[in-house]
Amino acid sequence: MLQCKKEQKKEAVKQQEVNVYTHRHYKADQELFAQFEKETGVKVNVVNAKADELMQKMTIEGAQSPADVLITVDAGRLVRAKKKGLLQSATSDILNKTIPAHLKDADNNWFSLTKRARVIVYNPEKVKEEELSTYEALTDEKWKNRILIRSSANIYNQSLLASIIANNGEEKAAEWTKGIVANMARSPKGNDRDQVKAVVAGEGDIAIVNTYYIGKLLNSKNPEEVKVANGVKIFFPNQNTNGTHINVSGAGVAKYAPNKANAIKFIEFLVSKKSQEVFAKANYEYPVNKEVVASDLLKSWGTFKEDTLSLTKLGENNKKAVLVFDKAQWK
C-alpha cells in the first residue's frame, strides 16, 4: 500500500516531457520548442545529430530507446525510418486534417512539417527563362559544361533522382544521371550555397538548389552573400508536366515512445498555424498547413505547381538512386 502511494507520488512529481531526436537545429525550431514548453508545461529534451546517425542510435537502443519523436530533413529518411520499424502509427484528427495526403505516410507513421522546392537557379545574363523547362531537359547538349550541382552523397539529390525513377522509370533515370554528369561545369563539391556562388562567379550558368538556401543567402549577414542571391533568378521546373520536385522535413512518433501522447501533441503543435508561420518566416520554407500563407519573400518567387508524387516513393527508391548515381560516376 505504502509502496503504491510512493510510486503514485513519484509519477505525479515526474515532470511531463517529450524526447525529440532531431536533425534540424535551426533557431526557429528552438524557439518553437520553447514556445511548446511554455504553452503545455511539457519539457522538450532535444538530441541533435544527423538523421542517419539518430536512426542508427534508435535501432541499437531498441525497446529501451528514450526517443519520442524523430524529426528529419527529407522524406527519404522518414520512409527509411518507417521501414526499419523505428516509427509507429499516430492517429490524430488534427494531423489528418492539416496535412495533404501526399505529404504524409499512408499509415500515419510520419508527417511533413515544411516543404522546400528543388529548383533551377540561373544567371539571367547568360540564360533566358524560355530556355528552361524541365529537369529532364537539362541533359540536352546545349547545357554542356554549364550545370552546377552538388555531390550525390546529398540526400536532396538522392530524392530528386528517386522522384525521377518513380516518374520516368529506372532506365530513363540512369540516362538522366549520365546526361547531367556529362553537362556538369565542374566536379561536384561544396554545398547548395556554393553552387549559387559559382553561378554568379561564372563557373557555370545554372544550378540545381533548394529554394530555402536562396532565402538564407538573401538574408545573410554577409553582404557578399546577399549580392550573390541577387545575381540569380529562380525557375520552377516541370510546370507543364508533373510539377517541381519538393522535399520536406517531417516528424514521426518513435516506435517505443515512452511519452506517446506528448509526442502527438508536439507534432500537432508544429503544424499549427502559428508554428507554420514561424517556419515560413524564419526559415524560408513553405508551410504544409494550407491555411497558412507563405511569407512575403516566398510569395515574391511566385506560386508553382508541385510534384504530388507520394513522398513514400522517394524513400522506396532511395537506395536505387544511390546505386544509379554511383554507376554514372556522379561523385
Partner 1 sequence: MAIPILTVFINLFYGPGETWNHLVVHLLPNYVQNSVLLIIGTGILTLIFGVSSAWIVSRYHIPFRKQLEWLLILPLAIPSYITAYTYAGFFDYGSIIENIFHVKIDVMNHVGLIFVLSISLYPYVYVASRSFFLNQSNNIIEASKLLGAGERKTFFKLILPLARPAFIGGLILVLMEVLNDYGAAKYYGISTFTTGIFRAWFSLEEPETAIYLSAILVIIIFLLITIEKWQRRKIGYFNATKNHQKVKREFISTRLKIIFFIIAFIPVLFGFLVPLFQLLYWASLTYKEVFTSEFLVISLQSFGIAMLSAISTVLFALFLIFFSKWNRLSWMKSTAKIGVLGYAIPGAVIAVGVLIPTLSIDKWLVTFMKNIFDIKIGFIINGTIMALVYAYLVRFLAVAYNPIESNSLKFGKSLSEASKILGASTLKTFIKIEFPLLKPAILSAFILVFVDVMKELPLTLILKPYHINTLAVKAYEYAGDELIAEASLPSLFIILTGIIPILFLNRLIAKEN
| Contacts to partner 1 by CB under 8 A | 19, 25-27, 45-50, 52-53, 56-57, 60-62, 64, 66, 80, 151, 153, 158, 187-194, 197-198, 200-201, 213, 216, 220-222, 224-225, 227-228, 319, 322-323, 326-327, 329, 331
Residue 243 region by backbone torsions, left for phi larger than 0, else alpha for psi between -120 and 50, else beta? left
Three-class DSSP category at 40: helix
Closer residue to partner 1 (CB): 94 or 200: 200
**Residue 99, H or E segment:** none
Pairing of the two strands 206-210 and 43-48: unpaired
DSSP 28: H
Closer residue to partner 1 (CB): 144 or 327: 327
Query: Min. distance of Cβ 224 from partner 1 in angstroms?
Result: 3
Query: Min. distance of Cβ 32 from partner 1 in angstroms?
Result: 16
Closer residue to partner 1 (CB): 64 or 91: 64
Share of the chain residues as helix, strand and coil, in percent rounded to the nearest 5: 50, 15, 35
Query: Min. distance of Cβ 28 from partner 1 in angstroms?
Result: 11
**Residue 294, H or E segment:** none
- What does the alpha-carbon distance between residue 183 and residue 142 come to, in Å, rounded to a whole number? 9
Closer residue to partner 1 (CB): 47 or 94: 47
Closer residue to partner 1 (CB): 120 or 229: 229
Residue 117 backbone phi and psi in degrees, to 5: -100, 140
Which stretches does DSSP call E strand in the chain?
17-22, 43-48, 69-73, 87-88, 111-122, 147-148, 206-210, 233-235, 246-254, 286-287
- What does the alpha-carbon distance between residue 113 and residue 73 come to, in Å, rounded to a whole number? 10
CB contact at 8 A, 236 and 302 = yes
Closer residue to partner 1 (CB): 82 or 193: 193
Query: Min. distance of Cβ 96 from partner 1 in angstroms?
Result: 30
Query: Min. distance of Cβ 114 from partner 1 in angstroms?
Result: 14
Query: Min. distance of Cβ 188 from partner 1 in angstroms?
Result: 5
Closer residue to partner 1 (CB): 74 or 136: 74
Residue 19 backbone phi and psi in degrees, to 5: -100, 120
Query: Min. distance of Cβ 202 from partner 1 in angstroms?
Result: 9
